Structure 1
């Protein structure tokens, strides 16, 4: 079959001409966009690296480790070869004598008078800390203070001349896609530079105050404590951890955000320790079913599950309150509230807005200090009725707390409520984690001391047209709210 030939008449030529003109215009616009984008990418990181390298340091620590009493890790205990390997180690001078263990890490200088920032895990337990500077000289360092919660440590060296240092930048303005540069001592190889972009923001790993910047700039063992720079040469993060199946960099590294680090460093410098604000409540996130059970419009805020003796109790805060704002800032969830409180000055009086039974109230709370309050336990006294019978409600077999049940569950006298004796495995309660041994202390945001109390709360919720009932459940002293469907069996 011969190819078809189409003649370009006046009618066909005009649309084609318009098509090509439009295409050329689009290509011109695209090329201009690419040129503008290219201008944002650095041609080289060399100038930046030259400028800030003198402020980055290698850290070597030495720790005394007690000698081992046997050949653990070589042969199993009790093995017939145990004596042989012990004699072998003794002949080679190991024996049970203490030995020195060393570790490597990174850090950076933040002032000309010798303050150095690094990770707590780099220097934890160290007897000696040695700082190697980019120019090649070394100085011993003393420990000013540490904060295990954010894995930050502050060191101090005494130098005869002012040291070159770097400044902290504002990590909150760093955007996903911005260029960053990491510096440090990876795998003990000495000063090294790697570059990449901000991959994600506001990452949380395991700590209460976590606010990590995720980056694909290569970070390996030994980079811990080193700085993450923006293109202005300001530190926007402290390289702390990597996510890896094999221990090496796969492009998922985490740096503690500078706006967290600066507050910690300031307190370590001023007090040698951290001083975080303490509200004095136990909280949990507001889930969809909890919001429905409480008649809330949204899941924003932090639900108070317990108010032990402390600042919140003195202000009149109650279990079941939903904290909506703290010191003028809206509360999105529990993580946000914990960080807001921790970053607030100890002793400051703040306004806390709460939703209490559908109404908004504002409380004034004078914050305590978290470090002093850790380990405090609530002291609550109430009457305990005698009601030995059991009842099955909402898929739960429940009983009042008798002396015998208290002994079985190892409950203190200040815990009041209904003991969960059994849970139907096909019930909603089982699916939401309730188990035998749990204690229900509140229902519908009111205390329950008897089975009749709970039935009254169920009846009241049904009369109000609610689909679910909010329960406050304690397990091992830790409270949490659970919303159960009133039709649950």
Structure 2
């Protein structure tokens, strides 16, 4: 059976590999055809410029860069107390002569808590000892030890580190060590600029598989990768990254940190040339907040949003392409205070065009709490300039969007249209589906061959808006359908709530049927 590739953080215990760790090297071989013969001792600026572009763009060696930045890269060892584990009942009968033997295997001698160690990497960002690493490297650790690259002026032994702050959303943590002399440090570069473009050379440093300080090199393979987080902005690289590299720096050729090595895509836990480093543009903002506050303080707009899909474009007046972020809900908060409404499409934020919801979330999260931000909003076919004063996501979001209950099984039939069986909200349906008191049309059945089924609609969903207008009766929905058909639209935009969570979707009007 073929193995499935998986994205795993590099401290994952599944990265236990047998044998020796593989290292990578960049070789310009004189024996390979097509490579220019270059003598580093005689090469001048003039001769380098005369070399073919494919060769002139390659560094002849990474040695100088490695020597420059190595003193700022650190190995991290963490220790954690693992609680005593109890033997599952029934494996060894109580009173059996083998009971003590199996308890020792499970819990360790005497059944006492055990110490567990883990390895990772990091890098120094200030002379007074601030260090950046991944959150998953130090999460849950009781003790954190920092080992510096050996050399003049470097600490001769491991130093204990204290935790300054963490951000699980971006998997970043900041540590602090105390030392009687200034430490060598590196600075963040522009991960959106020259040096971090697709095809640019990069160099990774860290402690792969516990082998100690190690260097690998490659290029930027792709940009703006998302794995699973809200604020993901990963640089993909083919520089060799393995377990123990987590939290280590990804350098551009100027010795600036453009990413923090975090995860790899691999079917077996080892490097196959697909590694991910969180971009410095994200990391630097998080680090600044952790240093200042010990926590993150992200801006919050106070809306639920979703992407505008191509099939929605014809259903939204004034929109020519799938762009922007479509607002599905506006609870009490900054957006409501600013006058934003469900159905509005945010086209630009602080003067920057919004491509999709992911981009908007990142821009808002990187904004200062309390800042007043200009927006360009599409409403009713017209673009409108608005301003919103941001709240703080960490404290305001949970209050505005409390967790909702699960929806139960379907109810009785009603009128049929758009491949849906619909009924106005009644006390019986409220009880049947655990709905709130919000008016609308309850979906009680879905034609499995309809566009509605293909879009994921299920019994218990509540339609509150059609064509960006509220609907509470079947007649009102039919009127919205007729208006859309007369306007030449091929789809109708619906606002659907499930478990209290709203979402827009566009249904094809070909499924239209007469109401009963």
Once the two structures are superposed, what CA deviation does each residue of 1:446-474 show, in whole Å capped at 9, x if it has no partner? Answer: 11122222122122222323222111111
What residue number does 1:355 align with? 378
Superposition deviation, residue 416 in structure 1: 2.7
Q: Secondary structure at the match of 1:266?
A: helix
How far apart in 1 are the matches of 2:202 and 2:322? 35
Once the two structures are superposed, what CA deviation does each residue of 1:172-219 show, in whole Å capped at 9, x if it has no partner? Answer: 011111111100011111111111111111111111111110000000
Q: Does the aligned pair in 1 maintain the 2:121–2:207 contact within 8 Å?
A: yes
Could you tell me which of 415, 421, 438 is aligned with 1:397? 421
Superposition deviation, residue 441 in structure 1: 1.1
Structure 1 residues 408, 86: CA separation in 2 closer, same or farther (over 3 Å shift)? farther
Q: TM-score, normalised by structure 2?
A: 0.83
Runs (5+) with no aligned partner, structure 1: 1-30, 380-387
Superposition deviation, residue 478 in structure 1: 2.0
Superposition deviation, residue 46 in structure 1: 1.1
Matched, 1:124 2:139: yes
How far apart in 2 are the matches of 1:127 and 1:323? 45
How far apart in 1 are the matches of 2:225 and 2:430? 42
Once the two structures are superposed, what CA deviation does each residue of 1:117-158 show, in whole Å capped at 9, x if it has no partner? Answer: 000000011111111111252110000000111000000000
How far apart in 2 are the matches of 1:221 and 1:375? 35
Runs (5+) with no aligned partner, structure 2: 1-47, 151-155, 403-411
How far apart in 1 are the matches of 2:338 and 2:323? 22
Superposition deviation, residue 303 in structure 1: 0.7
Matched, 1:445 2:465: no
Q: Does the aligned pair in 1 maintain the 2:49–2:56 contact within 8 Å?
A: no
Superposition deviation, residue 435 in structure 1: 1.0
What residue number does 2:28 align with? none
Matches within 5 A, 1:25-40: 35-40=52-57
How far apart in 2 are the matches of 1:39 and 1:288? 44
What residue number does 1:150 align with? 170
What residue number does 1:346 align with? 369
Q: TM-score, normalised by structure 1?
A: 0.88
Structure 1 residues 212, 389: CA separation in 2 closer, same or farther (over 3 Å shift)? closer
How far apart in 2 are the matches of 1:261 and 1:32? 36
Could you tell me which of 109, 124, 138 is aligned with 1:94? 109
How far apart in 2 are the matches of 1:389 and 1:180? 61
Matches within 5 A, 1:33-48: 35-48=52-65
Could you tell me which of 180, 192, 197 is aligned with 1:175? 197
Superposition deviation, residue 266 in structure 1: 0.4
What residue number does 1:370 align with? 393
Structure 1 residues 460, 249: CA separation in 2 closer, same or farther (over 3 Å shift)? same
Structure 1 residues 446, 62: CA separation in 2 closer, same or farther (over 3 Å shift)? same
Matched, 1:110 2:125: yes
How far apart in 1 are the matches of 2:104 and 2:190? 58
Q: Does the aligned pair in 2 maintain the 1:279–1:311 contact within 8 Å?
A: yes
Superposition deviation, residue 89 in structure 1: 4.2
How far apart in 1 are the matches of 2:149 and 2:207? 11
How far apart in 2 are the matches of 1:407 and 1:137? 66
Once the two structures are superposed, what CA deviation does each residue of 1:374-424 show, in whole Å capped at 9, x if it has no partner? Answer: 212369xxxxxxxx98211111001112122112212223x3311110001
Q: Does the aligned pair in 2 maintain the 1:389–1:400 contact within 8 Å?
A: no
Could you tell me which of 246, 249, 255 is aligned with 1:227? 249
What residue number does 1:293 align with? 315
What residue number does 1:28 align with? none
How far apart in 1 are the matches of 2:68 and 2:205? 12
Matches within 5 A, 1:79-478: 79-80=91-92, 86-90=99-103, 93-135=108-150, 136-173=156-193, 174-295=196-317, 296-377=319-400, 390-413=414-437, 415-478=438-501
Matched, 1:78 2:95: no
Q: Does the aligned pair in 1 maintain the 2:92–2:99 contact within 8 Å?
A: no
What residue number does 1:382 align with? none
CA radius of gyration, larger in: 1
Q: Does the aligned pair in 2 maintain the 1:183–1:228 contact within 8 Å?
A: yes
Q: Secondary structure at the match of 1:146?
A: strand
How far apart in 2 are the matches of 1:376 and 1:391? 37
Superposition deviation, residue 56 in structure 1: 0.5
State the structure with bigger RCO (CA 8 A, min sep 6), 1 or 2.
2
Q: What is the count of residue pairs matched by the alignment? A: 445
Q: Secondary structure at the match of 2:367?
A: coil
How far apart in 2 are the matches of 1:50 and 1:137? 20
How far apart in 2 are the matches of 1:354 and 1:90? 65
How far apart in 2 are the matches of 1:267 and 1:115? 13
Once the two structures are superposed, what CA deviation does each residue of 1:205-252 show, in whole Å capped at 9, x if it has no partner? Answer: 111111110000000011000000111111110000000000000000
Q: Does the aligned pair in 1 maintain the 2:135–2:168 contact within 8 Å?
A: yes
Q: Does the aligned pair in 2 maintain the 1:67–1:95 contact within 8 Å?
A: no
Q: Secondary structure at the match of 1:243?
A: strand
Q: Does the aligned pair in 1 maintain the 2:441–2:472 contact within 8 Å?
A: yes
Q: Secondary structure at the match of 2:117?
A: strand
